[in-house]
Structure 1
Amino acid sequence: MGTSLQPVGVLAPGANLNAYVQAVNGFAVLSAEEEKRLAEELYYHQDLDAARRLVMAHLRFVVHIAKTYSGYGLSQADLIQEGNVGLMKAVKRFNPEKGVRLVSFAVHWIKAEMHEFILRNWRIVKVATTKAQRKLFFNLRGAKKRLAWLTNDEAEAVASDLNVDVKQVREMEGRLSAYDAAFDAGADDDDDTAYQAPAHYLEDKRFDPAHQLEQADWQESSVNSLTQALEGLDDRSRDIIQQRWLNEDKATLHELAAQYGVSAERIRQLEKNAMKKVRVAMEA
């Protein structure tokens, strides 16, 4: 199942999110009988039109799930687009003979894609890398909406439920409670509080000659490696990486999709594959 099943203009929310939500809510909800018939057409006959109809009928469900992750400060449109990728994966793998509705099967795939997106983009410093840490992250994130710092009993209960150490629960709680602090003192800070700003006690080693020489060598090596890695890409992939990451005015997925006459999801796939090739080439 490739990009040919994608409903044009629907799997990638544009600038007008309200119009997108209104559009997907306009698609008819499938009855159990209609869903089973379409799922059988896809499962047994690889009917892409049936796949398209299954996807379109469940786009509203992706929007509903994306709203539950609004507290992370990330774009709802991006969350929805990632969730739509998960929905397509679920439709591709759905077996109508299992006796469950597609929505029950798809929720795992939709949330998995959204979780990956959140963990990649929520903070500069990664808070969760292993599977256990990711599960702990989202469970604690939900609990922290209702609780202050966990008591010992609450921490032990979470650790028991997730089969992790209490120490891991406390470490993740600390990561969730961390916040970004301004480096310089605020404009309204007086002499009694301004000294608390990191600018007053963190040593600046940027202008150390040895450090500058090391940094210059590293930058030159990195630039050379990146240049060689980009030369190994095809013209389209190289241009996508250039416009998405290297230009001062970075292009959006939708702008590149319009430029190349393909879907935004196709551009996302090309970008992902190109980035993987670049990383491999630079690590070689």
Structure 2
Amino acid sequence: MKNIKEKMISTNSVNIGSLDAYVRLANSFPMLTEKQEKLLLKKLFFYNDIESVKLLILSHLRFVIYIAKNYSGYGLPKADLIQEGNIGLMKAIRRFNINFKVRLVSFAVHWIKSEIHEYVLRNWRIVKVATTKAQRKLFFNLRKKKKRLGWFNTDEVNIVANQLGVTQREVKEMESRMSAQDITLDCLPNDICSDHLSYRHSSSSVYLEDKKSNFALDIEENNWDIHTNHKLSNALLILDERSQQIIKRRWLYQDRQKMTLQSLARDYGISAERVRQLEKNAMKKLKLAIET
């Protein structure tokens, strides 16, 4: 344990500029004995000792790297996979109980894989390939079962379905999802969008141009609407409360029908002619306030 502390102190000022450097550093931390591990876990459990957490994390970084290597076939950055695995390791350390009869690494494997699985499913495709717990399990197991690039035949589908305890339809559907490709919208006609798809099979954004729209005009109109609404709101403040309500209920409430002079007259206990006069005077004041 002393070696780990000394190593941690000596690497505090080290600049890790590459993944290879990080891997070398992680592998340089010595592994804990069972006795050392139990002592650190007790300090964490009873005293919430942060120093013990650091030592437990550093001594197990090599295991995270080892597990993350198994997910390199998904085409995702290795550094990100390791990072997600480290999050799982930290969660495992916080949830580990000293009464468990297993070593920390045996308990942490589940949490490390769980975080990596979630990362893979979030980033492997733009459209989620698996959303339910059963689909996630099928996705990762199917990746292990699929030894070749071609599609499964009927017998292979049947074998995989029996082994994983799912229906043949679920196997075929997941295989179809896994075989799908994300298609770029930004390829030019003479570009090759990927190693397998040419522009003839892509949906280039060049062909999705909407020539009817004018963004500059739309922005200008939107800014003008905001400006006029702001001026109208300020202009309404110069009116007395009754005049404000008459204008709003006659002209500004879009979620209800325009109120008549007679309806407002009944509400305020005045004649319809008096409502019309108040409305006319209020309109003059609003026009003057907006124009200035």
TM bracket, shorter-chain basis = 0.5 to 0.7
Q: Which residue of 1 aligns with 2:85?
A: 83
- Report if the CA contact (8 A) 2:183-2:203 is conserved: no
Does residue 125 of the first structure (1) align with residue 92 of the second (2)?
no
Report how far residue 156 of structure 1 moved: 2.7
Q: For structure 1, which runs of at least 5 residues remain unmatched after alignment? A: 1-6, 189-193, 225-284
**Number of matched pairs:** 203
The correspondence of residues 132-281 of structure 1 with structure 2, limited to 5 A, is: 132-146=134-148, 148-180=150-182, 196-198=200-202, 204=207, 206-207=209-210, 209=212
Partner of 2:18: 16
Which of 117, 124, 139 does residue 115 from structure 1 map onto?
Answer: 117
Report the aligned-residue RMSD: 3.4
Tell me the CA shift for residue 16 of structure 1.
0.7
1:136 partner letter: L
Q: Quick one: distance in 2 between partners of 1:205 and 1:124?
A: 20
How far apart are the structure 2 equivalents of 1:122 and 1:197?
A: 21
Secondary structure of residue in 1 paired with 2:99: helix
User: Using the alignment, how far apart are the partners of 2:189 and 2:22 within structure 1?
Assistant: 42
Compute the TM-score of the two structures, normalised by the length of structure 2.
0.59
Q: Residue 104 of structure 1: CA displacement?
A: 0.8
- Rg larger for: 2
Q: Could you tell me how far 1:14 is from its partner in structure 2?
A: 5.5
SS in structure 2 of the partner of residue 159 of structure 1: helix
Query: Aligned residue for 2:234?
Result: none
Instruction: Name the structure 2 match of 1:65.
Output: 67
Check whether the contact 2:126–2:182 (CA below 8 A) recurs between aligned residues. Answer: no
Matching residue within 84, 104, 107 for 1:105? 107
Which segments of 5 or more consecutive residues in structure 2 lack a partner in the other structure? 1-7, 193-197, 227-292
For the residue of structure 2 that corresponds to 1:18, the secondary structure is: helix
Task: Give the percent of matched residue pairs that are identical in Structure 1 and Structure 2.
Answer: 50
Amino acid at match of 2:102: V
Of residues 39, 42, 50, the one that matches 1:40 is: 42
Q: CA 1:187–1:148 in 2, change beyond 3 Å: closer, same or farther?
A: closer
Q: Contact between 1:14 and 1:77, CA under 8 Å: does it hold in 2?
A: no
Q: Which has the higher contact order (CA 8 A, sep 6+)?
A: 1
Specify the code of the residue in structure 2 equivalent to 1:124: I
CA-to-aligned-CA distance 1:49-72 (integer Å, 9 cap, x gap)? 222111111001011111111111
Displacement of 1:139 in angstroms is: 0.9
With over 3 angstroms needed to count, the CA separation of the structure-2 counterparts of 1:70 and 1:195, relative to structure 1, is: closer
Matches of 1:116 and 1:199, distance apart in 2: 29
TM normalised by structure 1 equals 0.61
